[in-house]
């Protein structure tokens, strides 16, 4: 097995021959393992030895060489452009990427969420990289799927082609925020939107969910945008003077900004202003006061074993599962 010292002194890029020498197998066996070649029965100890040697040597397969040899790039695009980024998405992406690498694939993650260009970015990525599969964590429209197939993608795996369910999954946490706040007597609530333009479309969906719940509860909703801390502090002072007693933030990151702005403005949380986020990120437990948030996860990290990868890529195994929104109550609300 290659040592850390031999890896650091080896000139240039590690090759498949280096991996073969380090693991004591033939180059053909290395190719079968790293490319997850169908029809080849490799003993599990041998497969693990090859993968460990490749990891120790820092071996990175050439996508172009693979394409020439096999007619396939082995690239899998993981697309999260149509769903808000939170801990569930991040952990799912990390877990799937590791399993793909273990099976010899090359994962490429697309997180571009610009409202006007997200679809074009995904299609352009497919045209240039020629992935074998696009795995979408959120819904893709039938039009985008058609364009991906025209770009040469053989398989597109998405939880739904209809955006309705995906839209509800984005909007429902905001409705849960308003429901929770209304039941605790808040009648004038600010919705804090993110400042990033690329999140505008997702924020509008979340605001739509908040508005629906506000109408149902007779709550007045006041949209504000998270910008510079000084500006938000001034906005919060004016909002509180106008009767706002709570803030429903787009996500935990925005809520943390609201907490900071409230402190700058001299507004006590939760005595004068309740603050809620979405995603229940680890940071929610590290703020002062600790942040009340809405979770859509059952708390279990997603697990994708290398043996499950083919089921994921065929669409036989759903990758991303969410739970109904659940308010995690802490000190900020």
Residues ≥6 apart with Cβ < 8 Å to 226 = 192, 193, 194, 195, 232, 249, 250, 254, 257, 258
Evaluate if residue 323 carries a pLDDT over 90. Answer: no
Residues 116, 195: one domain? no
pLDDT at 317: 82
- What pLDDT does 278 receive? 94
State the Cα–Cα distance between residues 143 and 101, nearest whole angstrom: 30
106 strand-pairing partners: 75
Closest CA to 125 of 80, 86, 71, 66: 80
Are 142 and 171 within one domain? Answer: no
Q: Could you give the CA distance from residue 202 to residue 84 in angstroms, rounded to a whole number?
A: 7
Tell whether 93 is covered by a domain: yes
Return the half-sphere exposure (C-beta side, CA atoms, 13 A cut-off) of residue 188: 13
Q: pLDDT tens-digit profile of 34-84?
A: 766 666 678 888 888 888 888 788 776 655 555 445 456 788 999 988 777
Same domain, 13 and 50: yes
Instruction: Note whether 91 and 322 are within 8 A (CB).
Output: no
Question: Is residue 333, in this structure, part of any structural domain at all?
Answer: no
Say if residue 274 is in the same domain as residue 308. Answer: no
* pLDDT (0 to 100) of residue 274: 98
- Which residue is it, tokens 């398989």? 155
Please give the average per-residue pLDDT across 193-205, as a whole number. Answer: 85
Shared domain for 128 and 188, answered yes or no, is no
The whole-number pLDDT of residue 229 equals 62
Q: Give the end of a domain, one of 41, 59, 77.
A: 59
- In percent, the amount of the chain with pLDDT more than 70 equals 83
Joined together, the tokens standing for residue 250 give: 């787009």
pLDDT band (50, 70, 90) for residue 163:
low
pLDDT at 6 over 50: no
pLDDT value for 78:
92
Averaged over 4-30, what is the pLDDT?
71
- For residues 229 and 29, the model is more confident at 29
Q: Same structural domain for residues 39 and 136?
A: no
Say whether both 271 and 146 belong to one domain.
Answer: no
- 115-155 tens-digit pLDDT: 557 788 899 989 988 898 999 887 788 889 999 999 989 89
Q: Does the residue 328 lie in any domain?
A: no
In this prediction, residue 270 carries a pLDDT of: 96
The arithmetic mean of pLDDT across residues 273-291, rounded, is 94
Q: In sequence order, what E strands does 70-187 have?
A: 75-79, 106-110, 133-136, 155-157
H helix or E strand, kind and range, residue 309: helix 309-314
Question: What's the N-to-C CA distance of the chain in angstroms?
Answer: 55
Which DSSP string do the residues of 12-80 spell out, in sequence order? S---HHHHHHHHTS-HHHHHHHHTT-TT----HHHHHHHHHHHHHHT----HHHHHHHHS---EEEEE-
165-169, 195-199, 284-288: which is most confident: 284-288
Of 31-45, 229-243, 290-304, the poorest mean pLDDT is in: 31-45
- 246-249 and 133-136 strand pairing: unpaired
Q: What is the domain-level CATH number for residue 145?
A: 3.40.50.2300
Q: Are residues 173 and 74 in the same domain?
A: no
* Range(s) of the domain holding residue 16: 4-59
17's tokens: 């021959």
Evaluate if residue 9 carries a pLDDT over 50: no
pLDDT in tens, 166-195: 678 889 999 999 999 999 999 999 999 988
Q: Please provide the average confidence, as pLDDT, over all residues in the chain.
A: 83
How many domains are contained in the chain? 3
Q: Give the DSSP H or E segment for 170.
A: helix 163-183
Judge whether 322 lies within some domain: no
Which pLDDT score, from 0 to 100, does residue 299 have? 55
Task: List, in sequence order, every residue forming a beta bridge with 188; answer none if it has no partner.
Answer: 220
Q: How far apart are CA 176 and CA 205, in angstroms?
A: 14
Same domain for 47 and 128?
no
Domain-located, residue 205: yes
* 235: pLDDT strictly greater than 50: yes
* Same domain, yes or no: 279 and 307: no
Contacts 24+ apart (CB under 8 A), 204-207: 205/167, 205/170, 205/171, 206/84, 206/170, 206/171, 206/173, 206/174, 206/250, 206/278, 207/174
Q: Is 329 a member of any domain? A: no
Residue 14 has pLDDT above 80, yes or no: no
Q: Which residue has the higher pLDDT, 160 or 324?
A: 324
Query: What is the phi/psi pair of residue 165, to 5°?
Result: -65, -40
What predicted TM-score, i.e. pTM, was given to this entire model? 0.66
Q: Are residue 227 and residue 279 in the same domain, yes or no?
A: yes
- Indicate the helix (H) or strand (E) that contains 207: helix 200-217
Residues 11 and 34 in one domain: yes
């Amino acid at each position: 097995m290659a040592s850390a010292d031999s890896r650091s002194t080896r000139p240039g890029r590690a090759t498949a021959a280096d991996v073969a020498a380090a693991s004591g197998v033939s180059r053909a066996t290395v190719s079968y393992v790293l490319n997850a070649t169908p029809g080849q029965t490799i003993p599990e100890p041998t497969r693990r030895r090859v993968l460990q040697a490749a990891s120790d040597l820092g071996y990175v397969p050439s996508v172009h060489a693979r394409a020439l040899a096999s007619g396939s790039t082995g690239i899998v695009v993981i697309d999260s452009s149509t769903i808000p980024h939170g801990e569930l998405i991040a952990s799912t992406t990390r877990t799937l990427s590791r399993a793909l690498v273990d099976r010899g694939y090359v994962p490429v993650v697309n997180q571009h969420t610009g409202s006007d260009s997200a679809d074009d970015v995904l299609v352009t990525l497919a045209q240039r990289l020629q992935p074998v599969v696009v795995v979408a964590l959120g819904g893709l429209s039938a039009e985008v799927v058609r364009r991906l197939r025209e770009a040469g993608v053989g398989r597109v795996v998405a939880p739904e082609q209809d955006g309705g369910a995906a839209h509800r999954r984005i909007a429902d946490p905001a409705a849960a925020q308003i429901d929770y706040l209304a039941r605790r007597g808040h009648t004038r609530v600010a919705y804090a939107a993110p400042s990033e333009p690329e999140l505008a479309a997702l924020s509008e969906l979340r605001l739509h969910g908040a508005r629906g719940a506000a109408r149902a509860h007779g709550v007045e909703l006041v949209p504000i945008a998270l910008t510079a801390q000084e500006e938000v502090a001034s906005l919060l002072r004016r909002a509180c003077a106008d009767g706002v007693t709570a803030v429903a933030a787009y996500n935990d990151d925005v809520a943390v900004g609201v907490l900071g702005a409230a402190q700058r403005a001299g507004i006590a949380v939760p005595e004068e202003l309740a603050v809620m986020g979405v995603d229940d990120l680890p940071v929610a437990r590290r703020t002062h006061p600790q942040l009340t948030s809405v979770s859509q996860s059952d708390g279990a990290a997603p697990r994708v074993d290398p043996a499950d990868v083919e089921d994921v890529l065929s669409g036989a195994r759903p990758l991303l599962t969410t739970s109904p929104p659940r308010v995690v109550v802490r000190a900020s609300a």
